[in-house]
Structure 1
Amino acid sequence: MNERILLDSALRYFLEIVRQGSINKASTTLHVAPSAISRQLARLEAELGSQLFERHPSGMRLSPSGELLAAHARKARLEAARVVEEITGLEGIQRGTVRIASVEGLASYMLPHLIVEYRKKYHGIHFDLAVSSSIDVTKHVSEGLADIGLTISLAAERNIKVEKRVMAPIHAVMAASHPLAGKPHVTLAQLSHYPFALPTDNTTIRQLFNVSCSRQGLLIEPVLVSNSVTPLVHFAACNGGVTLIGDVSVRHLSQTAQLVSLPIRDREMSGRTIEIQTLAGRTLPKGVADFLDALMQALEATPVM
């Protein structure tokens, strides 16, 4: 059974236009004639007495009325999916899919570990994990494309419920053989004498790093810059130098990597916050709600230095 059974065709077509930005593209993904989609959209606009889209050469954009309907339709689609799961025999937490959107550091290290442990208890639960930027994680949740979002705290967003916030200080990561590896903590001034591998400027880690260096008059030019955390960590593991990663993520790095993570004492390096997000006003399926609890407990259990 599919949740489409419980969702009006006009709303499904409307949501696909929102997602694709045009009737023709929605037609392609839905395998429905453009004329049929146009008729359903016209019916919706006539019944509501309001224009739902603003037509532009670059595509169709939601009007204020369309924004309200889109929020309703996304919640209706998610509620329909939840009901269908229960009707088709979901008893307790035996099967289902948890869709997660997460920033890369948490997706690469913490979440796989947690998913493995969770599936030992509920092996019928499957996971769909999308790795995105902080902004896109929130967008995935607000558009109903993800059940749970794990992101770095930004400005408050409409239609988003913050289930939990935890501090996520930034640590210096290096090989166990690095000259500083035996210290209890380090400063950026101490680290500045060694090669750095850093994330790109659009990440909160890099932005806080830049602010701290500017305040102290430190000039640190990274020898490696990447938009992915994986090569940065491998660079450090190969004793190429130092990289930076959030404390929550680094605690789930493979112990075979022979890596050491050290707290950084500069004040800017402890200013990050992780948020667990869901769609406001939504009743989560049982499996999603239970995994959300496990996720929040895992973050609570993570000691913060």
Structure 2
Amino acid sequence: MRPRRDVGPALVHHLARPAAGRGTVHLVHPGALAAGVHRALADALPDGVGLTVLDLSGLPEYGEAALTGGRAATTVEALAERLADEHARLHDGGPYTLAGWSFGGVVAQAMAELQPPRLRPHRLVLLDSIAPTAEYQQPDDALEPSLLLGWFAMYLGAKRGRPVEVDAGRLAGRGVTDGLRLVLAAAAASGALPADTSPPGLRKLYDTYVDGLLRNNRLTAPYTPRPTGLPLVLVTADRSLVPGDPTLGWGPLAPHGLELHRSPGDHYTMLSRPDAAAVIAGLVRPAGVPHPAHATKV
């Protein structure tokens, strides 16, 4: 008999267990990078504060869509309801903060609106998350290869632990095949990939990455969010996916205020850099927990 194979990522990851009365950060993670990337944040939180990651990739209807063409048999609302049910099971009655990175911020915002008053967090923290508002609800063909290739280079650098720097001007107007040659050359030069990495192998990784983005874009396109009944805190990376908009479109959804902060790193490395984790830790700490001495507002 063959040993049973792992069927996929877990939905819930307890990266730090809370001490009595210290509270927990619940963070919605959309995959792309493994949930363990948030260990930098767990280490930066004040002593005794817990960190639980809710990994959307642990839901087959979401996670498998990145491997099967980018069309998910679900909706933002259904994902939020599933996580809200899971959170109700996990919640120990103590203080907590709800956070979400990237597309996880969209689901976290929808999830917060489903919470009964007794379970609502005191704030919602969004980590380089693009709002599901009309200006950012774009058709698939708006995601041009030059844009996607630049994002892929950032992702590849974070995944491999070495920066992959490709000048945006060199990617402009290029197709996927030509653009991936530039990405591969930059990745080999930095040591992120072996010099003999095959272009077809890199193309396969790129296609999976893009299918994940298309999945999120297609889930967001028909979604109509409600304005948030909580104060919103938005942390944008120095190299955000959308560098020209410091609000990432969240203004119309934040009638109770939108607090803006910046973090070192790019959209992906902001999750693993200790200096970025220090910034984020000071913003996600639950109510009543003192501000950690090493966190810096930016």
Give your verdict on TM over 0.5. no
The alignment's TM-score, normalised by the length of structure 1, stands at 0.31
Q: Counting strand residues as a fraction of each chain, which structure ranks higher? A: 1
